Structure 1
Amino acid sequence: MRIGIDFDNTLVCYDQLFWKLASEQGLVDESVPPRKNAVRDHLRRRGLEERWTQLQGLAYGSRILEADPFPGMLAALKELHERGAELVLISHKTRTPIAGSPVDLHAAAQSWLLQKGLWNPNSEQSLFQDVYFELTKEEKLQRIAYAGCDWFIDDLIELLTEPRFPVGVQRVLFDPHTEQPNLPTGILRLKAWNDVTSLFPCTDKS
């Protein structure tokens, strides 16, 4: 079984980091909850869309190593790997931020994976067998198909409901805050990484 997994906001939890970055710049106070979307909405209400874009460049680039993995994620992926699942990471992101210093976002993400022990291109024991960072959503959808994924886990309902999403791939929405209360037919919900192994009963420990 081959399981494809997204990167940003699926493996990586940016909630605390975005609040920290915004606080450092005096953009939020304790009235704003420490969640990525809460920071985003607060800045947009104040007409600070450009500052939000700059924060994204920092969070996904030079400060990414300060971002936390979602609780239980590492243990869950180790369990899937031990049960024989092949894990492949497929994300899409621009090479450099839209605003701010021209950091290589793909290299930054790879550094995060290495630091957390999720990927080592020089080891056959790497949890992720393959890692792909595509430049566009269209290329990401193509990669999901080419990689032969049986399942795909993503936090964006827009991607999972895309008409061009590969046929035959089981779609799983990572939705820890139940932001999508009503899911379309055929899409499963994953609220916490601790629950992920129950989705794959047909993988067996070797």
Structure 2
Amino acid sequence: MLIGFDLDNTIIRYDKSLHKIALERGLIQKDVPRLKRSIRDEVRRLHGDEEWQKLQVAIYGTEIDKAELMPGVWDCLLTLKQAGHSFQIVSHKTRYPNYGQLKIDLRKCALNFLTEANFFSSDTLSMSVNDIFFLSTREEKVRKIADLDHHYFIDDLEEVFTEPLFPDSVHKILFSREKNGRKIPGCSVFSTFEEISNFILKRTANGTI
């Protein structure tokens, strides 16, 4: 079975690195919660959107090495692989930042992170760079998911699943640490990757895709 994963804030977690970099730059106080939304709102309130855009370039590009894997995602991927499933990553990520003159290749930075995290190692996940897809718009991302014909797709953004072109044949799994979001038809919501892997394995064991 082919399972699709989003990348940013699904596989890669930036909350701690974002907090650390913002603190080092004097943009926030230490007591600001280590949550992207909280940090974004505080930086914009105190320093404006320009400083927030600079932070975005840092966490996704120049300082992506400070990011980490989302808790539980590695075990989830290994469990699914050992059960005979394969997976691909489909990411809405432009090649270069939309802000400023810095021509850092954000896609290459992401691939370097995945390489360092052993995603392409034959001893672990054995993924190929050909399993990673970067798209410049959300609509292009949804079209690619449809083309790849995933059985499941896992994302942290509700907006991906509410795109008009999102294929009905793909089971939607929303990874969300907040369970108070809007209800999306045909979408299962989980707050941990252990729940996600258990859900998929149980359905496949029962013959339900």
* TM surpasses 0.5: yes
Aligned length: 202
User: What is the SS of the residue equivalent to 1:42?
Assistant: helix
After superposition, residues 14-29 of structure 1 pair within 5 angstroms as: 14-29=14-29
What amino acid sits opposite 1:4 in the alignment? G
Distance 1:87 1:156, change over 3 A: same
Q: TM-score, normalised by structure 1?
A: 0.91
Maintained 8 Å contact 1:17/1:67? yes
1:83–1:45 Cα change, 3 Å: same
Give, in whole Å, the separation in 2 of the partners of 1:159 and 1:105: 21
How far has the Cα of 1:190 moved from its partner? 1.9
Following the alignment from structure 2 to structure 1, what is the Cα–Cα distance between the partners of residues 76 and 125? 16
2:156 aligned with 1:155 = yes
Counterparts of 1:157 and 1:172 in 2: how far apart (Å)? Answer: 10
Residue 141 of structure 1: aligned partner: 142
Residue 60 of structure 2 corresponds to 60
Contact 2:119/2:125 (<8 A) preserved: no
In the alignment, structure 1 segments of 5+ residues that lack a partner are: none
| TM-score, reference length from structure 2 | 0.90
Residue 126 of structure 1: how far off its partner (Å): 1.2
- Secondary structure of 2:21's counterpart equals helix
1:24-43 paired onto structure 2 within 5 Å: 24-43=24-43
CA contact (8 A) 1:83 1:203 kept: no
| CA RMSD across the alignment | 2.0
Identity of aligned residues (%): 35
Amino acid at match of 1:138: E
Worse overlay, 98-107 or 153-162: 98-107
Residue 124 to residue 10, structure 1, CA distance change in 2 (3 Å): closer
Pair 1:83 & 2:83 matched: yes
Verify the 8 A CA contact 1:113 1:119 in the aligned structure 2: yes
Structure 2 residue ranges without an equivalent (≥5): none
Distance, in Å, in 2 between the alignment partners of 1:57 and 1:119 is 25
Matches of 2:142 and 2:191, distance apart in 1: 23
Q: Higher helix proportion, which one?
A: 2
The question of 1:173 aligning with 2:177 is answered no
Shift in Å, 1:44: 2.1
In structure 1, the partner of 2:113 is 112
